[in-house]
Amino acid sequence: AQSVTQLGSHVSVSEGALVLLRCNYSSSVPPYLFWYVQYPNQGLQLLLKYTSAATLVKGINGFEAEFKKSETSFHLTKPSAHMSDAAEYFCAVYNQGGKLIFGQGTELSVKP
């Protein structure tokens, strides 16, 4: 069965600092992996996805993620945090039937 685990339910960084949100996956087949972001009082918005093409995936708002098969990881990074990046971030893996399996989420706080 496929699953994802997000390490750290809460991450706090200073504005301008590196953002690193961790996600490890478990999958018996080559996975499709996603990062979604949820801003307060809004729905889930796709940041980026990995679908077996390039291992380094660039998304919106300056985020990127690298698929590392050897480490079963798909960590999300951004070189320089902005106050507007404060949100909850979810890693997800695709399962059959249109089902996404989500991690528990990581809340990102950005300090001025």
Partner 1 sequence: EPEVTQTPSHQVTQMGQEVILRCVPISNHLYFYWYRQILGQKVEFLVSFYNNEISEKSEIFDDQFSVERPDGSNFTLKIRSTKLEDSAMYFCASSEGGQGNEKLFFGSGTQLSVL
The binding site for partner 1 (CB under 8 A) comprises 32, 36, 41-46, 49, 51, 90, 92, 94-105
Place of tokens 């809004």: 42
- Nearest distance, CB of residue 73 and partner 1, angstroms: 19
- Nearest distance, CB of residue 18 and partner 1, angstroms: 26
Residue closer to partner 1 (CB basis): 81 or 91:
91
> Rounded to whole angstroms, how far apart are CA atoms 94 and 83?
30
10 Å CB burial of residue 6 (0-12, 13-18, 19+) is: buried
Residue closer to partner 1 (CB basis): 9 or 14:
9
Place of tokens 């960590």: 75
